[in-house]
Amino acid sequence: MELFLILSLASCAMSVGVVYLPKDMLLSWKFPTPGSVAFELRVPQVLYDEYGYVGLGFKYTDDISGMYYADLINIKFNQPIEDCYGTKNTVPRPDVSLGGTSDLINPRTDVTADGLKITWERAMKTEDCSNDMEFEDGAEYRLLWAAGFMDEVTGEQLRHSTKDRGTINIKLTEDFYNAQYKPFIVSSFN
């Protein structure tokens, strides 16, 4: 009985969705409340040193490919995280510039010994219905990822190359696990 209790507690403590991404990035998530989802993205030091930004996006699995209509998170290193929307396959536009709202709760970027730890939370359903996806626990989504450079003179975000982007389907549950790509580090959510 005691062993069962210990294993049950350990299992509860490790309830977190995890997907390993190319370039040794790691995205994990959990549901701190029934109406919200918290994300943590780990970016390794080598990526942080070489590139100027990373981006993540969410689409329904049957949507058209590309950034069109994607709910995006734009993470320019050393700048605030942006809640964005994909109006075309180019630099994403912040929701606020499209008449929407920034719905990221407590966005934070921390420099660690291993690179960056980027965290944010958002409501499963936001009031910004034209720019944000309605997340549902257990639903499948296409996760978009990209890494790219910043113009050293103007500071503008440059378009990523085709080798620096991709997609992977995920299921937004706390027991989802996909280690298709090389693991980087374990999420602090564990």
Residue-level pLDDT at 183: 54
Quickly count: other Cβ atoms within 10 Å of residue 43's Cβ: 26
Is the pLDDT reported for residue 138 higher than 90?
A: yes
- Ordered by where they begin, the domains of the chain are 16-178 (2.60.40.1190)
Pairing of β 165-171 and β 105-112 = unpaired
CB 174 within 8 A of CB 15: yes
The dihedral built from the CA positions of residue 100, 103, 104 and 105, taken in this order, carries a sign that is positive
Name which of 33-37, 92-96, 184-188 the model is least confident about: 184-188
Pairing of β 115-123 and β 105-112 = antiparallel
More confident residue, 147 or 90: 147
Is the pLDDT reported for residue 3 higher than 70?
A: no
* pTM (two decimals): 0.85
Residue-level pLDDT at 116: 97
Quickly count: other Cβ atoms within 10 Å of residue 172's Cβ: 19
Residue-level pLDDT at 184: 44
Residue-level pLDDT at 12: 43
